[in-house]
Chains A and B, each alone.
Chain A
Amino acid sequence: MSQVVIETLFYITAGIALIGALLTVTRYNAVHALLYLVITMMAISLIFFLLGASFAAALQIIVYAGAIMVLFVFVTMMLHQGEITIKQESMLFRPGRSIGVTFLSVILFAETLYLLSPLADATFTTTGAQINHIGAKEIGLQLFGPYLILVEVSALLLLTALIGAFHLGRRHQEQSL
């Protein structure tokens, strides 16, 4: 695969991701927004592949797009965000009111542009490094070796989240928490 192909692929994918994200935040319908988010996740997964991180890409699809997004969809369905909500949202989300936020985001953009442009004292240039493929084997070796504690800690984190989510999602009788 040649350089140009990889790069073009990258640009297309990045564009899809960005457009997906934009559309996510501007839809009225919650389910539409979630579906666009899934598209963004997929695009990001492809970018991971292009970077040579196959394990990360796989994880992105399985966990993020597969589990978390499904969770979001379930909850959205549970909360009956139906017709009334769509009407409400269309009333609430007026682009004119988001001038300030747009302005802030634009500033962030501009700063990044400035940082990356030759105007700044850009110390990072294309280094001429090569993209190596780091797959599951290397990740596994790291996880069982130096980063063992990390695995335990993340397990603990998940356990905490599990218990918390369970407790929070219960239907309580009419007593205070």
Chain B
Amino acid sequence: MDHQYISNLLLAVPLLPLFTALVLILAPLFSINLPKIATSVLAVGSIATAALCSLLLNSQLTNGLDANFSSIYGNWIHVDEFSVSFGFYLDSLSLVMISIITGVGFLIHLYSVGFMDQDKDYQRYFAYLNLFVAAMLILVLADNLLLLFLGWEGVGLCSYLLIGFWHDNTNNNLAANKAFIMTRIGDTGMAIGLFLLFFQLGTLDIQLIQINAAALWPLDENNTVFSFDMVTICCLLLLSGAVGKSGQVPLQSWLPDAMAGPTPVSALIHAATMVTAGVYLIARLHGLFELSPLAMQCVSAVGAVTLFIAASAALVQNDVKRILAYSTISQIGYMFLALGAGAFSAAIFHLMTHAFFKALLFLSAGALIYCMHHEHNIFRMGGLAKKLPLVCVCFFIGCAALASLPLMSGFFSKELILESLLDEHMYGYWVVAIVGAFMTAFYSFRLFFVIFYGKNNKEPDTQPSKSMIIPLSVLALLALFGGIQPQGLIDLFTTTENTTETHSIGIVIFTIAVPLCAVAFSWFQFKRKVFGSDIKPGVLKQIHKFLYSGWAFDWFYQRVFIRPFIENTYFNRNDVIDLFYKALTSISQWLHRFFNQFQNGQLRWYGSSLVLFCTAALTYLITS
């Protein structure tokens, strides 16, 4: 309706959580002790209000005729030709993103009230969580790349703070360091990409970038040669940032270790929001990426490789959260695959459904861990179907959606991706995707069967509390029925020429049948007690070890990068440059000792130095 109203709503969405986070952080500094109820109300309330505002924005934008809305709230940097402002840009993409972030975020905050009830750092937790939501909202609403980068770094910081939340345990700190450093490597590439973009195009405004790039580097219609030109370099650098943040190969090994943080954190950050920032970036700059076919191929390749590696690694894990982490990496690989194929709206749709069912899975896992007295190993659980019924149902819905069983939300999005791959004639990738879908269904139901069926090894302590049940139920409903692709997304990303070809019915049946077969196969293996049994030493055992360590990426990085670096620094402890500084200090020490003799406090010494100097001066004056 009117511009100012929407503009204010838009501003409220990220600023409310930011303000709450500041209050929660600064209150201890001013020695104000907030009671726990105040913290909960403040934190959850701010996200709830932000969700409400995004809901209102939803209605505004769908009722109104504008496809997008942008509003500038002030000037940030203005130096010569470099001008950056605080502006927010709202179109269906960012609307979907803020709805997901605030909606799922609200549910996770509600869940955290129950989960972190006994924790002593309650206030700090909610402060960081709110700060994270604020930063993520800034990221998706930004209308220029510098503001986006601000949000990018903000979510990286909050991820570090939240992974290492229980910082008394050194392992958590190490995991947080690993996450931060690996994403930092990607962020460096992205920053260089930003510099390059500004240098080439003269602006950092996202819409302007796409327009200027299309003008500067036009795409030839019959350009089938993959040329390595400037636009490709820019896109690849931005891709490196996305790879780091979204946990794709080669920067993916931080995500399984990031499960050291509290489970709601894993749900919010490493399932629903932060790891999707990379996908958002590429989707947002789709105009730029479309100009470089090579970059699109790279995106797809990264996605394909990652989904395969992660899915195979998830087959053999035994920590419930690690399985979910690898599955997150794999699903984001799907999104990257879709992005590389040009199916941007399919990717974002899958992002949305993935947020629902992955959050559901993580929160259910959290409830499971909470009730099982902090037990993570699935092989020490079993037969919990009757004992924890609600968790069982939620897990089932989540796993079904993850496996893209028919009529779940995950089914629609994954089918869309597979269809788009066929439309683009990327058959090799399609095969990889099908194999991935098989493995996904297999490991997700392996997880389900091992936990909830079979012999019961451990009794649950408690049932999940009320504040955990409500979000779980809501998310279960969303995972079931959320498979409706928003029309706005389709309108945003489709160009005029593409039409959906009808595929042969055989392909459709095949893609539906694959996950069902995988579920059946998994049930069969479960009955034969293959899961969790010891493997005889041999090739199979080696393969198992290899997959278990996530394709040995950590070992590889340790050998290739870290160890030489450490040895180099040890070697360089007494290096040549130091000699210069040591010489400086020893010279000044020598001078000190020398001049110290002149200050011995002897009166006659001082007198004679006076006379000596006068004599010398006189001599000089006379002889010159």
Cβ of A115 < 8 Å from any Cβ of B? yes
Q: Establish whether residues B608 and A108, one from each chain, have CB atoms under 8 Å apart when the complex forms.
A: no
Given the known interface contacts A114-B622, A115-B622, the answer about A101 and B615 at a Cβ–Cβ threshold of 8 Å is no
Q: Establish whether residues B612 and A111, one from each chain, have CB atoms under 8 Å apart when the complex forms.
A: no
Q: Establish whether residues A111 and B622, one from each chain, have CB atoms under 8 Å apart when the complex forms.
A: yes
Chain A residues near B619 (CB-CB < 8 A): 107, 111
Chain B residues near A100 (CB-CB < 8 A): 608
* Least distance between A53 CB and chain B CB atoms (Å): 28
Chain A residues near B612 (CB-CB < 8 A): 104
* Least distance between B157 CB and chain A CB atoms (Å): 59
Please measure, in the bound complex, the distance between the C-alpha atom of A108 and the C-alpha atom of B615, giving whole angstroms: 7
List B residues 590-624 near A (Cβ within 8 Å): 608, 611-612, 615, 618-619, 622
* Least distance between A112 CB and chain B CB atoms (Å): 10
* Least distance between B57 CB and chain A CB atoms (Å): 80
Chain B 74-104 interface mask (CB, 8 Å, partner A; 1/0): 0000000000000000000000000000000
Chain B residues near A115 (CB-CB < 8 A): 622
**What residue in chain A is nearest B622 (Cβ atoms)?**
A111
Q: Establish whether residues A111 and B608, one from each chain, have CB atoms under 8 Å apart when the complex forms.
A: no
Main secondary structure of the interface of A (DSSP, over half): helix
Please measure, in the bound complex, the distance between the C-alpha atom of A62 and the C-alpha atom of B375, giving whole angstroms: 110
Main secondary structure of the interface of B (DSSP, over half): helix
Number of interface residues of B (CB under 8 A): 7
Q: Establish whether residues B611 and A111, one from each chain, have CB atoms under 8 Å apart when the complex forms.
A: no
Chain B residues near A101 (CB-CB < 8 A): 608
**What residue in chain A is nearest B619 (Cβ atoms)?**
A111
* Least distance between A97 CB and chain B CB atoms (Å): 11
**What residue in chain B is nearest A103 (Cβ atoms)?**
B615
Please measure, in the bound complex, the distance between the C-alpha atom of A104 and the C-alpha atom of B608, giving whole angstroms: 9
Chain A 87-119 interface mask (CB, 8 Å, partner B; 1/0): 000000000000011001001100100110000
Chain B residues near A104 (CB-CB < 8 A): 608, 611-612, 615
Chain B 35-71 interface mask (CB, 8 Å, partner A; 1/0): 0000000000000000000000000000000000000
Chain A residues near B622 (CB-CB < 8 A): 111, 114-115
Chain A 21-64 interface mask (CB, 8 Å, partner B; 1/0): 00000000000000000000000000000000000000000000
* Least distance between B352 CB and chain A CB atoms (Å): 84
Chain A residues near B608 (CB-CB < 8 A): 100-101, 104
**What residue in chain B is nearest A114 (Cβ atoms)?**
B622
**What residue in chain B is nearest A108 (Cβ atoms)?**
B615
* Least distance between B358 CB and chain A CB atoms (Å): 80
* Least distance between B614 CB and chain A CB atoms (Å): 9
Please measure, in the bound complex, the distance between the C-alpha atom of A111 and the C-alpha atom of B611, giving whole angstroms: 14
Chain B 90-126 interface mask (CB, 8 Å, partner A; 1/0): 0000000000000000000000000000000000000
Please measure, in the bound complex, the distance between the C-alpha atom of A114 and the C-alpha atom of B608, giving whole angstroms: 23
Please measure, in the bound complex, the distance between the C-alpha atom of A172 and the C-alpha atom of B437, giving whole angstroms: 101
Please measure, in the bound complex, the distance between the C-alpha atom of A114 and the C-alpha atom of B618, giving whole angstroms: 12
* Least distance between B589 CB and chain A CB atoms (Å): 29
Chain B residues near A107 (CB-CB < 8 A): 615, 619
Please measure, in the bound complex, the distance between the C-alpha atom of A102 and the C-alpha atom of B612, giving whole angstroms: 12
**What residue in chain A is nearest B607 (Cβ atoms)?**
A101
Please measure, in the bound complex, the distance between the C-alpha atom of A115 and the C-alpha atom of B608, giving whole angstroms: 23
Chain A residues near B615 (CB-CB < 8 A): 104, 107-108, 111
Please measure, in the bound complex, the distance between the C-alpha atom of A18 and the C-alpha atom of B437, giving whole angstroms: 118
Chain B residues near A114 (CB-CB < 8 A): 622
Please measure, in the bound complex, the distance between the C-alpha atom of A101 and the C-alpha atom of B612, giving whole angstroms: 9
Please measure, in the bound complex, the distance between the C-alpha atom of A115 and the C-alpha atom of B623, giving whole angstroms: 11
Please measure, in the bound complex, the distance between the C-alpha atom of A111 and the C-alpha atom of B614, giving whole angstroms: 12
* Least distance between B393 CB and chain A CB atoms (Å): 89
Please measure, in the bound complex, the distance between the C-alpha atom of A115 and the C-alpha atom of B621, giving whole angstroms: 12
Chain A residues near B618 (CB-CB < 8 A): 108, 111
Chain B 489-531 interface mask (CB, 8 Å, partner A; 1/0): 0000000000000000000000000000000000000000000
Chain B residues near A108 (CB-CB < 8 A): 615, 618
Please measure, in the bound complex, the distance between the C-alpha atom of A114 and the C-alpha atom of B619, giving whole angstroms: 11
* Least distance between A131 CB and chain B CB atoms (Å): 29
Please measure, in the bound complex, the distance between the C-alpha atom of A98 and the C-alpha atom of B608, giving whole angstroms: 11
Please measure, in the bound complex, the distance between the C-alpha atom of A114 and the C-alpha atom of B612, giving whole angstroms: 19
* Least distance between B284 CB and chain A CB atoms (Å): 78
Known A104-B615, A111-B615; further 14 A-B contacts with Cβ < 8 A: A100-B608, A101-B608, A104-B608, A104-B611, A104-B612, A107-B615, A107-B619, A108-B615, A108-B618, A111-B618, A111-B619, A111-B622, A114-B622, A115-B622
Task: Supply 16 A–B pairs (Cβ within 8 Å), ascending by A.
Answer: A100-B608, A101-B608, A104-B608, A104-B611, A104-B612, A104-B615, A107-B615, A107-B619, A108-B615, A108-B618, A111-B615, A111-B618, A111-B619, A111-B622, A114-B622, A115-B622
4 cross-chain pairs, A with B, having the tightest CB-CB distances, nearest first: A107-B615, A104-B611, A104-B615, A111-B618
